[in-house]
Amino acid sequence: MKRIAFIGLGNMGLPMAVNLAKAGFEVKGFDTTLWAAERAAAAGIALAASCADAATDADAVVTMLPNGAILAAVYDEVIAAARPGALLIDCSTVDVENARAAHEAAANAGLKSLDAPVSGGVAGAAAGTLTFMVGGSEVAFEAARPLLSAMGRTLVHCGDWGAGQAAKICNNMVLAVSMIGVCEAFSLADKLGLDRKAMFDVVSTSSGRCWSIDTYCPVPGIGLQSPADNDYKPGFSAPLMLKDLKLSQRAAESVGAETPLGRHAADLYAAFVAEGGADKDFSGIMPWLAQKSREG
């Protein structure tokens, strides 16, 4: 496993491709956007003329794309061009149905494939510390291990086709609900006259403790450095969180799972994005919630 095609060189894809190149893989990248391609070339990534051109001769094809529809279109090209025995690894966050359809298309062409969405954001991508949640066969997972290890620190084989995407949307549903909970608590604490630092010191060491407060505190000047200290510049943007919440709601509907807090979190993020949150980190829902008053 030496020659890697990397398709989708955006905020996440480019640093991941750079880490593969640093680890000694021969990386050939492709992106449809000129600025992304130029940025990749400046970072030393060799560029292909198309998805098919990148995939021809590659031992593995990694994709890091915005959504399932784009993934399906890219896989049409990649599968037609890939050499027998190539391994396809999709690291994008997409819906479970498109992930399974991508696996089926690959299998029909005799190719191994994995869904391997990530957690850890742009900082984790740059540092090579991503968590990969992987769906697909044990054989494909083991074949991908050296490559995934060059981009991430934790690899979890979650199960068969689509299990990685299922784990990703469940994780992000927990994250959204916990972030909103922490923001609501700070907002209430403010109105009760409780000092924010005291609130942080108690909750981050008590039973309310969670990643949203102790690692990614949504109020400025408290706890570890986070987007709150940088005017809520992303980080992990609110529209991306909304995308993942919509994916989890769609999945919940498809299997009849009742997820009332997940649904409410999706509604709150939709309202936040529509009311000024489109270019903010997902923790920017803190000031948006705080400026609202209880009606009645």
Residue from 118, 151, 203, 266 binding ligand NAD (CB under 6 A): 118
- Is 168 annotated in the active site? yes
Of 224-263, binders to ligand NAD (CB under 6 A) are 236, 240, 243
Residue 146 main-chain phi, psi, to 5 deg:
-60, -35
If one asks whether residue 32 binds ligand NAD (CB under 6 A), the answer comes out as yes
Residue 33 near ligand NAD by CB under 6 A: yes
Q: What DSSP character marks residue 217?
A: -
Is residue 27 involved in binding ligand NAD (CB under 6 A)?
no
Token couple for 90: 């999709």
Q: Is residue 88 a contact residue for ligand NAD (CB under 6 A)?
A: no
Answer yes or no whether residue 220 interacts with ligand NAD by CB under 6 A. no
Which residue has the closest beta carbon to ligand NAD? 10
The interface with ligand NAD within residues 122-181 (CB under 6 A) comprises 122
Contact segment (CB under 6 A) with ligand NAD among 20-28, 41-49, 61-69, 255-263 equals 61-69
Residue from 92, 98, 113, 165 that binds ligand NAD (CB under 6 A)? 92
Is residue 89 at the binding interface for ligand NAD, with CB under 6 A as the rule? no
Nearest alpha-carbon partner for 281 in 212, 224, 221, 223: 212
Long-range Cβ pairs for the range 232-237 (8 Å, 24+): 232/280, 232/281, 232/283, 232/284, 232/286, 232/287, 233/280, 233/281, 234/279, 234/280, 234/281, 234/282, 235/121, 235/122, 235/281, 235/282, 235/283, 236/121, 236/281, 236/282, 237/279, 237/280, 237/281, 237/282
By the rule CB under 6 A, 121 interacts with ligand NAD: yes
Q: Map tokens 């400025």 to a residue.
A: 220
Among residues 168, 233, 246, 292, the one annotated as catalytic is: 168
4, 13, 241, 251: which one contacts ligand NAD (CB under 6 A)?
A: 13
Q: Which DSSP string do the residues of 176-187 spell out, in sequence order?
A: HHHHHHHHHHHH
- Among 197, 180, 149, which Cα is nearest to 242's? 180
Catalytic residue ranges: 168
Chain residues in the site for ligand NAD (CB under 6 A): 7-13, 30-33, 36, 51, 64-66, 70, 74, 92-93, 118, 121-122, 236, 240, 243
